[in-house]
Amino acid sequence: MGLFAKQKADFQGRRAYVAHVKGNQLSDAGKTNEARAMHEKALALYAQAIDEGGNRRISYVMAYGVLLLRMREFTKAHDMFIRAEKTPGITKPERKQLRVNFAICQWKLGELDSAIEQLQIASHDGATSMIYGALGFMLIERGERDGDYSEAISFNQKAYDYDEDDAVVLDNLGQLNLKLGERDKALAHFKRAHEIKPRQVDTLYFLAKLTAEDGDKEAAREYIGSALEGNFSALSTITREQAQALRDELD
């Protein structure tokens, strides 16, 4: 790879990263359509950087994979993370983050047990907030599949002990409480999660559902309306289609 080609790839990679960050900021501000347009621009720039030789930089490959994951292009993200793992000079923290991202891809592609195993390996030298959130929900899914929530209960309690103000952990606990028939506890956890992170779409969905069951259709419509204005990311446990179906039901 020539010097000029390397410089061009690096330039495209930097442009992609700037667009990526701007897209995230727009998403956090609730500007969903503008965020998506900026993320689409970042995707195109990352692809150019990779094609022109930017695959030698782990930062570009990882960021491209993360954005593919966010945009729900799970198969492409899966392939990019495999490519990243082979990048020379990858550090131990980068490898750990890569394993987490790869696990999320596996989960979204239907490989639940393998995804759980990858996250458990990643947590051996210390769990992070992302691991607690992602693994906590995956264990709930496996508990529902297998009819045994004991591991999900234990791990999600550990996650709560780690950070009782984490909105994702609180949402996981709310969903787990619902599975266990503990509706009042679930509602309390969802309300607390909403106080901490008002735009979390999963929480808004369940608050809409529970509020409607309690007879307050107006509040339920507000919750689900806010959810549909938000970002359904790769880590969302509720799809936009589910949220739209609930809104149609309420209307």
pLDDT in tens, 128-155: 999 999 999 999 999 999 999 999 999 9
Q: Is the pLDDT of residue 238 over 90?
A: yes
pLDDT level of residue 55 (50, 70, 90 thresholds): low
Share the mean pLDDT of the chain.
91
CB neighbours of residue 89 within 10 Å: 8
Provide the domain limits for residue 36. 1-90
Task: Report if residue 30 sits inside a domain.
Answer: yes
Here the CATH number for the domain that contains residue 46 is: 1.25.40
Q: Assess contact for 172 and 156: CB atoms under 8 A.
A: yes
What is the maximum span of the chain, computed from C-alpha positions, in angstroms?
67
7 part of a folded domain? yes
What does the pLDDT read at residue 56? 62
Closest among 195, 174, 193 to 185, alpha carbons compared: 174
User: For residue 72, is it within any domain?
Assistant: yes
Residue 214 counted as domain residue: no
The count of domains in the chain is: 1
Asked if residue 22 belongs to a domain, the reply is yes
Asked, for residue 194, whether it belongs to a domain, the answer is no
DSSP per-residue string spanning 209-231:
HHHHHTT-HHHHHHHHHHHHTS-
Query: pLDDT of 69-127, one tens digit each?
Result: 988 899 999 989 988 888 778 889 899 999 999 999 999 999 999 999 999 999 998 99
Q: Which residues of 221-239 are buried (b: 16+ CB within 10 A; e: fewer)?
A: bebbebbbebbbebbbbbe
Quote the percentage of the chain above a pLDDT of 90: 69
What is the reported pTM? 0.87
Q: Is 90 exceeded by the pLDDT of residue 2?
A: no
CA distance 139 to 113: 9
Residue of 206, 202, 199 lying closest to 185 (CA atoms): 206
In a domain, 21, yes or no: yes
What pLDDT score was predicted for residue 6? 65
Task: Judge whether 130 lies within some domain.
Answer: no
Q: Which residues of 25-37 are buried (b: 16+ CB within 10 A; e: fewer)?
A: ebbeeebeeebee
The helix/strand/coil state of 192 is: helix
